[in-house]
Structure 1
Amino acid sequence: MQATAFAGANVSSKRVAVASGRRCSHVVRAAVAVPAQFKAVKPVGDRVLVKVDQEERASTGGVLLPTVAQTKQTAGSIVAAGDVSLVKSGDRVVYSKYAGTDVQVAGDEHVLLKEEDVIGVLPSGDKISTMKPLGDRVLIKCAEAEKKTAGGVLLASDSGDKPNFGTVVAVGEGKKAEDGAQVKPNVAVGATVMYSKYSGTEYEEEDVQYIVVRESDILAALA
């Protein structure tokens, strides 16, 4: 696939799917380069400017990865904020993978996001387990997949159904009602809940699976 060059923009490609054989599909996103004479970018409305973490360019074994194999970062630090209420400058955040506008400021990668697209704040380094989810989002520690069938047959790691339930680790402050009041999600920390199978954003930390879902994606409490 051939990328089209845009004046004043840095064009990068990212692999999103691999077709049969050796063909692969790419999505092209243009990072708008802010002209050198402008030294600051001030987000307007409910937007924030996030300085994106550097992409991982080597495998755990130290092998340099080709561009198409690198994972697009979805974490960084807020360097400027507009009219927002849930986050502030200096916060280290994670955000939705396909959200925002990529911007290059003084050669560094940034992204302009709506506050709504910020999934959570990381108050303790990079630990997903300490994430403070925003809005009506809920952080869940996923249940482990069954390793054996009911008859005792050992399952391959990719053959079992992935569980769609887990334990609530943290709950956001909720969404604003029409009168401006904050309505907290009706979910308690420590509860075991079932959530929609294809919802949320998944993370892995020290072989533990986590997922952040909206309150509306929680189907039931289990007891």
Structure 2
Amino acid sequence: MCLNWVYDEKISERVIRRADPCAFTKEDLMASMSVARKALGDLIKAFKPLADRVLVERFAAETKTKGGIMIPDKAQGKVLEATVLSTGPGGRDSKGNLIPMTVRAGDHVLLPEYGGTKVVVDEKEYHIFREADILGKFDQ
């Protein structure tokens, strides 16, 4: 199905038209984009890593010191703490037995400075690490 932007003089507005006489207004398009964004957010919640991988969301960087001084983006550095969103079932040993994960969803963990795979969904950054790459977890 081909969708094209056209200017409709009758309604003085740009609309998307399909091959059939049905047309979408800007409001229809914005509503469908909102639904798509919600679906992407639900997609991350439903994402289940494989094997011994862990999906995490890094904490936000501090933008202001305790004294109230603003920290520029370049000087903020990488945040090494994150919250675990979901985990895989675990790795396998040489005999094929399942090795259970030691981290769970909701855990507060310490990450290495480098490594992992960055995943961006709806302008939000997530990272996937192997459990062995995670340096430790904080008691809650």
- Structure number with the higher helix fraction is 2
Q: Equivalent residue for 2:134?
A: 218
Structure number with bigger Rg = 2
Q: Relative to structure 2, which stretch is displaced further, 127-136 or 142-151?
A: 127-136
Letter in 2 for 1:140: V
| Residue of 201, 218, 221 corresponding to 2:117 | 201
| Residue of 98, 108, 117 corresponding to 1:192 | 108
Structure showing greater relative contact order (alpha-carbon pairs closer than 8 Å, 6 or more residues apart): 2
SS in 2 for 1:159: helix
Cα deviation digits, residues 105-151 of structure 1 (max 9, x gap)? xxxxxxxxxxxxxxxxxxx7683343211111000111011111232
Q: Equivalent residue for 1:77?
A: none
Cα deviation digits, residues 160-192 of structure 1 (max 9, x gap)? 012111111101111111221111221111111
SS in 2 for 1:133: coil
SS in 1 for 2:73: coil
Question: Retained in 1: the 8 A contact 2:109–2:134?
Answer: yes
Gaps of 5+ in 1: 1-123
| Residue of 57, 62, 69 corresponding to 1:146 | 62
CA-CA distance at 1:159 after TM superposition: 2.2
Question: Retained in 1: the 8 A contact 2:40–2:121?
Answer: no
Gaps of 5+ in 2: 1-38
CA distance in 2, matches of 1:156, 1:195: 23
| Residue of 71, 78, 82 corresponding to 1:166 | 82
Letter in 2 for 1:221: K
SS in 1 for 2:110: strand
Letter in 2 for 1:134: L
- Structure number with the higher strand fraction is 1
TM-score after normalising by structure 2? 0.63
Question: Retained in 2: the 8 A contact 1:128–1:203?
Answer: no
Q: Equivalent residue for 1:180?
A: 96
Letter in 2 for 1:144: A
Matches within 5 A, 1:47-196: 127-196=43-112
CA RMSD of aligned residues (A): 2.0
Structure 2 vs 1, CA of residues 140 and 125 (structure 1 numbering), >3 Å: closer, same or farther?
Answer: same
Cα deviation digits, residues 81-106 of structure 1 (max 9, x gap)? xxxxxxxxxxxxxxxxxxxxxxxxxx
CA distance in 2, matches of 1:198, 1:155: 22
Q: Equivalent residue for 1:70?
A: none
CA distance in 1, matches of 2:97, 2:136: 25
Taking only the aligned residue pairs, the percentage that are identical comes to 32
TM-score after normalising by structure 1? 0.41
Question: Retained in 1: the 8 A contact 2:111–2:135?
Answer: yes
Q: How many residues align?
A: 100
Structure 2 vs 1, CA of residues 150 and 125 (structure 1 numbering), >3 Å: closer, same or farther?
Answer: closer
